[in-house]
Each structure stands twice: as structure tokens, then as C-alpha cells.
Structure 1
Amino acid sequence: MRDFLKPVAAVLFTHILPESIHRAHNMNFSIEERGNPNTLSYRLYFKNSDGKYISPFHDIPMYADEAQNIFHMVVEVPRWTNAKMEIATKDPLNPIKQDVKKGNLRYVANVFPHKGYIWNYGAIPQTWEDPGHKDNDTACCGDNDPIDVCEIGNKVCSRGDVIRVKVLGVLAMIDEGETDWKVIAINVDDPEAKDLNNISDVRRLKPGYLEATVDWFRRYKVPDGKPENQFAFNGEFKDKDFAIETIKATHGFWKALISQQTNAGELNCKNTCVSEGDGPFCCSADEAKAVVDGSCPCGEASPVPNSVDKWFYYAKN
């Protein structure tokens, strides 16, 4: 057990329904689009199999199968696309929306030879990288988000897909002084999943992919005028066991968050399935519906700016 798990495990959790954290059998999720795609109004809300609006941050269980260490992944960005979509951790029900910088929608640059994101990119629900916790390995605090996942299977997923993934390893990126773990995983339904069981299998069966992943994360902000990102462990990937312990630690931090053992700050922790009815984070079905009904109705997509297709070239440091 990684050392930062121990204090979290000792916390007394209140106002949480534990079965809603771990039970995930036969769970199906659907999405509801609101607003106009490629505009500031666009939102993607989630429902469970009962048609109940849920938070993808809090209400989707981390585990799809705890005994097999199979995790849920919420796909925010399909492979080859550029729009920087993410779970809106500070908004009611935490829909997926496009990140905004200085009033403009954010798109990741194409830094040659990469086109958009080179994996299906998303997050593991019920995890949180605590900005108040300094990691012993990285010497940096968390980035205040759910833990990120790069899914390396063959299928190009769709935005809002909730898939079951097998964890293979993890990369410790340092983003502007914050720890920003990048979990490497594969969809359990991928035909190659049976052959990929650890990070060494990725290196052997998908040569160049891990090196490209480090290169992508190192350089993707440079066209925006930012310095190259840094990494702990000299940019080496840690193996499956280390990755799973890291995910479990971020789940512990999330538990502390949702049970008010940790100050949520600006995060919106309202949920419809996890917190008990008398808890301050409990959101009724009517409240959840009102949130969605209060958003813009679904409309026509706006065109994506031509600049999104530009390729950036620069010599590596």
C-alpha cells in the first residue's frame, strides 16, 4: 500500500451509501446533449439505467468489477479530436463541457506529428487528485480533478461513453507544479485486451506508443506559449500494480471529499446516488431535472475554427 493511502483509509466516512460506491453490475449509462456543440452553451448530461440524472464525477462507480480490478472510464475526448472536453467539476451534476480559456473554447494544438489526442481520453469516476496532498513520489500536490486515463484500444470511442477498462500502467506528469497522473488502460472489450496485461506488454506490442505518449504530454502546451511539461520518474511509466494503488489512493481522497472530511472548495459535490438524503451533497431527482431543464435546449452545431487543423512544428529540446 502506498503510504498516502493509510491516513485516508482511517477516515470515518459519513453520509455515504457504500453500496453505491462499489456496486456496478449491469450498469448502463446514457447521455443527453444540451446547448449547441462547439459553443459555450454545450453540455453533456448523464443518466443511469433507471433514467435518473447523475453526476459522472460522483455517481458512476469507480469499479466495473472490483474483484478483477476493472474500472469505469468516462470518455471525454475521442481519439484524433481536438476539443478539450472535460467533466465540469464545479458545475451542478458535473456535465461534460468544453474547457474555456480567456473566454474562448479550448482546442489542443496538433504538434507534429500528432493529430489531436492520440488515445481515447477521459477520467475514472469517484477519484480526485487532492490539491492539499503532496505526493511523496512527485513532491507536488494534486491537480483538483479526477484521475486521467488514456485508453489505447482500437476503437475510436464517442464523447460520453462509459467503458470498462483494464489498467496497464501510469505516467506521472507534472503540470505547472501539480501532480497530474495519466493512467494507461485498454477497453476490456478490445480484441487485443487479452494480450495486454501490463505496461511492458504495451511497449512490446505497440512499439513507439509510450514514447509518443510522453512526447505528446511534454509538448502539447508549447503552441500556447507554455513551457514543456515535466515528469516524475524521468518520464518512465510505472507498472500496473503501482497504477492501481495510485487510483485507489485518489478514490480515498474522493471519499474524504464526498464525506466532507476535506474542504470541497469550488467543486460541486452534489450527487443523486451516493450521499444519503440528509447529507448536504444529496441532490433529489427533481433538483437534478431542474438543472438539466435550466440549460439551453439542444441546437445546431457551430463550425469548428479553421485554426484547429493547423500543425505546429518546433525542434524538441
Structure 2
Amino acid sequence: MPAIGLGTFGSDHVSNETVAEAVKSAIDIGYRHIDCASVYGNEAEIGAALRDVMDSGKVDRKELWITSKLWNDKHVEEDVVASCKQTLADLQLDYLDLYLVHWPFPNFHAKGCDVSSRSPDARPYIHENFMRTWRQMEKLVELGLARSIGTSNMTQAKLELVLRDAAIKPAVNEMELHPHFQQPELFDYVVSQGIQPVGFCPIGSPARPERDKTSEDTVDTEDPVLCEIAEKHGIHPATLCVKWAEQRGQIPIPFSTNPRNMRANLESLTTPKLSDSEMEALSKIDKNCRLIKGQVFLWKDGQTWEDLWDLDGKIAQ
């Protein structure tokens, strides 16, 4: 799995066509890892871009690592394989390198509603139900539709149950990871279990949906420690976040449509490593500041998915 990828969650503030062009630019620059999801609504455009670059001879399919994700309204057993096949059709691929369960909570939107709408039918994690979904994820590997499977936005308590009961353990847990939200306990647990952590929002997420913004949020790239270390290395603080992530052992998947920024993020992985003292200083700026709060996904009594994450001790069984 390449050490850095291009995230493609950007259709809420740029067009699908712009994201597709970003994928082409990233591959031209040297990226080989593209992180997608059906809910982003842009897989058809990304598929056309991938087809263009492969048909041009710039890159072979075997050189690419393509990830996608099962959305929350497709957790029902009979929907998993069909959803993956739809993603493959949209991406114009025969197989995925990695397919993730996007969130551990099923969420069934009312007919005609999109992901930005508040749903009255978000449901908490129930392990027995999740494992029914996971058995179908394992079937994708058996069918050759996905070479690896994994989880996303999972807590340790949930992962412990999945690892106990899974025939194929998750290869990856994708989660929000940046210097102001380092999740050290979950990170260390994932690594200890031989699961690769993949970090989204590695430079924070200033362009995230308004629904996820609150007055308490901070922007990582304004942190004085980040700025001081970045200046010492002659790189932008955002680029330092990507470099820190890779050196820590997680795979960052920053989203950008700017070729200059893409190149800077990629090249940061080849520049001299941060010193132990610099890594230690960065470990101390963790503010436990989650940026992607899932406020749009409401459960009963106005609870959000972030509230549901805290119920692990009650629902784990």
C-alpha cells in the first residue's frame, strides 16, 4: 500500500469534474494511491479519469492502489456485494485493492434525501448486525472483487469484537488523524494488531462541511509549534502535517486539487526525517479536537454519531 494517497472527498465544495482532474494530476505527479467512496458521489467521474490514464499507457492497473467504501445504507447483507459491484462499474475496474466499511453505524436515509440531509433513522452499532455485514465483506475477497477489506471510523472496543469474530481481519482502519487529533490509544492498538492506520484530514479540514464546524475548532496549520518546525525545515505547516503522519506510521490521504500542493505533500516523504525531539514536540500539541463530527447523522433524542462512539462499553457484547 503506497505511503500516501489522494483523498477524493471534495465534491461538497468543488465539482466532480474538478476532483477527476485532480486524480489525473496526482497520477502524473507520481501518486499511485487514490482513496474513494461511493457516498462522495464522484466515482463515475474518477472512473473515467482512471480509464483515461490507463488507456494512455501512463500507468498500469497493477501499479495503482484504489480504495473505496461501503456506505451506511448498504449494510444489509444482500446489498454489500451489489454495492461493491456498482462501485467497480463506476470506477471502471475489475477489482478494488481495498474496500472499507465506511462507518460502523448503519444509516438509512429517507427516499430522495442525500448524505447532507438529517436522517431520522441512524442506528447504533450492534455487533451481531455488523458481523453479518462483515461476512459479506469477506465474501468480496473470496469473489476477487476486493483484494483486502477494512474498517473506517472504528473504536477500539468495536475492533476488539471484530478481531475476535472475523475470518478475515481488517487490513486497515481509516480514521481522523492529524496533530490536533492524534488518537494515541486507538492508534497504538491498531498498530499492535497488525492493522494499518490510514489518516484522513491529515492537515485538518478547513474546507469541511459547515455542519461539522463549531466555534471550538482549531486549524492545525496555525499552531505555533507546527509553524516553528515547518519553518526550520523550509516547508509549509500543512506539508509538515503530512510528513509527521507518514513518519508516525500512518498513511495520510490529503485532498487537494492544486498540483503544487500535491507535489509538496508527496515530496515531503523523501526529505530528511523529523528529529526525535521534533516528533516529541508534535506529540504534545494534541488537543483531542475532532473535526469530522458526524453532526448530520442524528439518532434518537438528537444524539450524534459522536455520542454513539461513547456508548462502546454499553453496546459491546
Kindly indicate whether structure 1 or structure 2 has the higher relative contact order, using CA contacts under 8 Å at least 6 residues apart.
Answer: 1
Which structure: greater strand fraction? 1
Q: Tell me the TM-score normalised to structure 1 length.
A: 0.24
- Kindly indicate which of the two structures has a greater share of residues assigned to helix: 2
Q: TM-score by structure 2 length? A: 0.24
